[in-house]
A and B are shown apart, each in its own frame.
Chain A
Amino acid sequence: QVQLVQSGAEVRKPEASVRVSCKASGYTFKNYAIHWVRQAPGQGLEWMGWINAGNGNTKYSEKFQGRITMTTDTFATTVYMELISLRSEDTAVYFCTRDEKVLVGDSHYWYLGLWGRGTQVTVSS
């Protein structure tokens, strides 16, 4: 079964860090990028960045540069997202999501097609 299984809820104090995991199964791990998207209470979806599971290349949103690190463990087919220097505004549900490809003629287009169920991260003193 193709799926992404995320780690459980986390509670942190301000200035702490958190690491959320996303275990992939049912497909060839190295063939796809994994993105992280978060949704704060009452807010919309916010893209945080992606990691190429094949070569480890990353691209982060400018908003999180310097605070975010995405890594992979190929043997465990798991992607990790670490966010440091947490503040209350980082309270959100964090989703990992995988690229999917749709073909139109000879062209293909990537979209966010496979999602984890989300990990609640709460930052509170």
Chain B
Amino acid sequence: SSDLTQPPSVTVSPGQTATITCSGDALPNQYVYWYQHKPGQAPVLVIFKDTERPSGIPARFSGSSAGTTVTLTISGIQAEDEADYYCQSEDTSGTYVFGSGTQVTVL
């Protein structure tokens, strides 16, 4: 599975939109999963299969995909969304990889 590149940090004001990209050469052939990770807590899945939102995840979280880049969008961001976000994919051999992670600051 190839490397997944994310921006190190994103800073947005409350109520604005945060956009986090995840780029990788293999992504046209692999689904991406997005995890929210807060300090001292277990990571939580917020998007799977590039664009699907699990039950219980607020509608302000959405995903999109275009070629080698997959994007997580948090619309109308709230203070509680401040966290690290990781994309993750799996190749056909069962190898997983995490993106480099993006620290989202709501300020």
B interface residues, how many (CB within 8 angstroms): 23
A45 touches B98 (CB 8 A): yes
- Chain A residues near B61 (CB-CB < 8 A): none
A47 touches B52 (CB 8 A): no
Q: B residues within 8 Å of A by Cβ?
A: 31, 33, 35, 37, 42-43, 45, 48-49, 52, 54, 84, 86, 88, 93-101
In the complex, whether A75 has a CB less than 8 A from a CB of chain B is no
- Chain B residues near A109 (CB-CB < 8 A): 31, 48-49, 52
Partner of B43, one of A50, A102, A112: A112
B31 touches A50 (CB 8 A): no
Q: A residues within 8 Å of B by Cβ?
A: 35, 37, 44-47, 50, 59, 61-62, 95, 97, 100, 102, 104, 109, 111-113, 115, 117
- Chain B residues near A104 (CB-CB < 8 A): 49, 52
A46 touches B43 (CB 8 A): no
A44 touches B33 (CB 8 A): no
- Chain A residues near B45 (CB-CB < 8 A): 100, 102, 111-113
Give the residue name and chain of the B residue nearest to A43 (CB). B101
- Other A-B contacts than A95-B42, A97-B42, A112-B33, 16 sampled, CB-CB below 8 A, are A37-B98, A44-B98, A44-B99, A44-B100, A44-B101, A45-B35, A45-B37, A45-B43, A45-B86, A45-B88, A45-B98, A47-B96, A109-B48, A111-B33, A112-B35, A117-B42
Determine the distance from Cα of A70 to Cα of B36 in the docked complex, in whole angstroms: 26
